[in-house]
Chains A and B, each alone.
Chain A
Amino acid sequence: MNILNESTYFTMRQCDLKRCFVFETAHKSVKLTFCQLLALRNKVNAINLCAHFNEEEHECGIEILLFKNREHVLILDTYQVIALKKFMEDTFSILECAPLAHLSI
């Protein structure tokens, strides 16, 4: 299992053998197919970060994120939301660069 991306709160691994991804946070490890990973990316992208800085729209500053067909839930504060957005963006950039890595080998 290869580490694709690692940050303070999250880690993403790729398992070539099982052709899947593993998303890890401090308290859980979730196996994801590529479609589920794409769905998670869509959900993370859809989080309105600006609302976190507007008390009228977002009083508590907490984001509840259901993913993998609502099997899992993440409860994130604003810092973690920012980190997760960056993490997902970086993960997909790394995945995009994978063919280049093959070429360089």
Chain B
Amino acid sequence: MKDLMRQKLGINVDIMDLLNKQIGKEAHASSAYLAMASWCDQNALNGSAELLYEQAAEEREHEMKIFHYINDNGGTATSPEVKDIFHDYSSLEEVYETALEQEINVTKSIHAIVKKCRQVDDYRTEKFLQWFIDEQMEEEKKMRDILDLFELMGGSPLSTKFIDERVKDA
């Protein structure tokens, strides 16, 4: 009997499921960043709004990268449904705390897929995910650096405005 599945599908089927879930997580992260950007825009925090719009676009790029990877390997990428996007924040600091938390969750999820790749000998996906591991380190660092500014300067309206003007360089 021919190994038809291997001929048609270049990745492990369980890994494909996990990658599809990851697409959902990236899509959720993108929408969450959009909601954060919108809140910043409404509160005259233009520097943060700009940064968060860019983050939303980046998350969308990550989503598409995984989406194409699944389809390029003969799998079926599924378009995710995005629910439960939080729109209300009490401060800019809370926005970035939420952003960091979100990035940490995405990192954990990617690490879990890499772990599974090693269990099922899916070296190709493990290599593919290496880029995401590096990218997540950058993303976490960016949010952490901004939160460090709040620690340094406090959360008064004046320092919030000051931080907002500098987030792009953080």
Contact = CB atoms under 8 A, between A and B. Distances in A.
Interface of A: 2, 14, 16, 19, 21, 34-35, 38-39, 41-42, 45, 92, 95-96, 98-99, 101-102
A34 B6 contact: no
A97 B119 CA distance: 15
Given A14-B1, A16-B1, A99 B74 contact: no
B13 A16 contact: no
20 contacts: A2-B1, A14-B1, A14-B4, A19-B7, A34-B8, A34-B9, A35-B76, A38-B9, A39-B76, A41-B13, A42-B76, A45-B17, A95-B4, A95-B13, A96-B5, A96-B12, A98-B1, A98-B4, A98-B6, A101-B1
Contacts of A102: 3
B69 to A, nearest CB: 15
B81 to A, nearest CB: 11
Contacts of B9: 34, 38
A96 B75 CA distance: 14
Using C-beta atoms within 8 Å of the partner chain, give the interface range for chain B: 10 to 19
Nearest to A36: B76
Contacts of B130: none
Nearest to B7: A19
Contacts of B8: 34-35
A46 to B, nearest CB: 9
B4 A19 contact: yes
B13 A96 contact: yes
B76 A92 contact: no
Task: List 8 A-B pairs, minimum CB-CB distance, nearest first.
Answer: A34-B8, A95-B5, A98-B3, A16-B2, A38-B76, A2-B1, A92-B13, A99-B3
Interface in B65-79: 74-76, 78
A21 B5 CA distance: 10
Interface in B32-75: 74-75
Nearest to A21: B4
A96 B14 CA distance: 10
Contacts of B78: 42
Contacts of A95: 4-5, 13
A103 to B, nearest CB: 11
A14 B2 CA distance: 9
Among B1, B2, B5, B76, the one with the most A-chain Cβ atoms within 10 Å of its Cβ is B5
